[in-house]
Structure 1
């Protein structure tokens, strides 16, 4: 890990514990054993560090989207892509999301920082919603809306489906945060994967069968 990466990881770890506003550039530099001048060779200021962290998180999300076969942007940016997503692709993406947000050090600390800061800043509150709550829910609702159109049987409203589909993600993520044992965390992740499989089987079994024939 080079110095620039170490600055990001260290800063985010401090943000996750004390909050973004409470951590100064001096404290980040001191934690790393470098001078503020040395830190400024890599980043303009604390906000620059934060922006780079967010950019990194977004970049990884795009990569997971592409790998799973789901749209990498919102519906307003690429509506056509939403009409071709397969149930299995959505399931694979959500499983990958759960492992990322519960296991990756940067993701975990970014999530913890947003959780702290959402009560202190309207900007951070909006970002918290976009990244972890309303943003994923709206994205999921749009995908399920398009997938429901291709089903012959009557399904609940896309909004109701999205709440049913996404709520366990956040609940089990919180449960994973509350345990220390790796084995227990793995059990929680497995239970989430089983839930996703069960949800798709209950609501999109016909489409899943068609996918397996391809």
Structure 2
């Protein structure tokens, strides 16, 4: 068996919470607001979001750069993309989020027994609004805004910084997140075990997590076995 777990590193978006209105819904309204037919999707936006993080001072600037690049790819002027970004910003309310099933209970159950950290790939000015809306800032001993405080996940840096602040070794921590590419791969690169929230029923996830859960409620149903998961 692996070393006993002392710390849990949680992801935020689509692990603890999600928007009540999807990105695709907001994007459709943005195109409608400026009177243009959609020429990219929310998924296309998410795929390139991290590409512009290091050159952007804020989430709004990052989105402007993403949308300008997507407009150019579609044969439009970058200014059209920025117009879509402005309309998107008018529609998006960062406080309009909801808990994922079992997520609040998971924090309630484990905060007395483990050191908790939040590591999120997201602009601080957006993520703070979500955290405040959920009322969870005091649940975590540290919060790392990866991509802004540090390199974005899956780089090991945000995990190492969180662990240093918690005074915990990697082998005594576990990451809980929904993204194979960011959370699981990042945890493994930092020498941390992984629990993957599988919302899509993927048969052969890559990289393979140390444990898979279907809902955050699984973290409260049989938590002790989850947090003594097998050796890497």
Q: Provide the TM-score with structure 2 as the length reference.
A: 0.32
Point out which structure has higher relative CO (alpha carbons under 8 A, 6+ apart). 2
- Larger Rg belongs to: 1
Greater helix share, 1 or 2?
Answer: 1
Q: TM (normalized to structure 1)? A: 0.34
Higher share of residues assigned strand: 2
